[in-house]
Structure 1
């Protein structure tokens, strides 16, 4: 019984996927007006009106004269990449400055330690000589 259920399920899935594939292979409606009586153009088109024999026609219209894409998703991705690069540069500069400040504070601390040690040794020197 379990095997029959699996076979029926597999057959149903194959039929559904075949239906989806049949729909995906349909050609889009042509952009131009149909020719007389046939309802189709004489050359196959992409749906944008450009012929299938010209593969670079779609790519040429997708990029404007400044070299950037007209696609909003591509523009968003480019803006996000630029913002990320700017953020990384600012973060790197802030990290460098923090490191320099830490080194300066560390050297100041070492200098204060040396001075306090010298003062303490001077204060203890007469006391050590009295003993």
Structure 2
């Protein structure tokens, strides 16, 4: 029984008294990763995620010929920029970026609705959603 207690204290950290407010089952994390008691993700992780998402959207716009896939790729790029706004807003402790994202998502929802309406109208006129078939402004 003594060896089990010794090993569990090695894994879980030192036991503390009930008056200290720290549970004896608390895992210890380096102080650099803690912010107000919560573990934070570094800003660079969000920037890398956003960059990968934006690059995927650009590749989708440039290489695909399906109008719906192109619209989804544009939305992917827009959401990548929204991740940047939220990450920098959290990093600089400023709520302006999060408010901007709220309005951006509202406009993006309207953009998708209008874009899909245009795609449906184009499909009814030409019976295809391949972008190579639409070469003239007049349908």
- Higher RCO structure, 1 or 2 (CA under 8 Å, sep 6+): 2
- Normalized against structure 2, the TM-score is what? 0.23
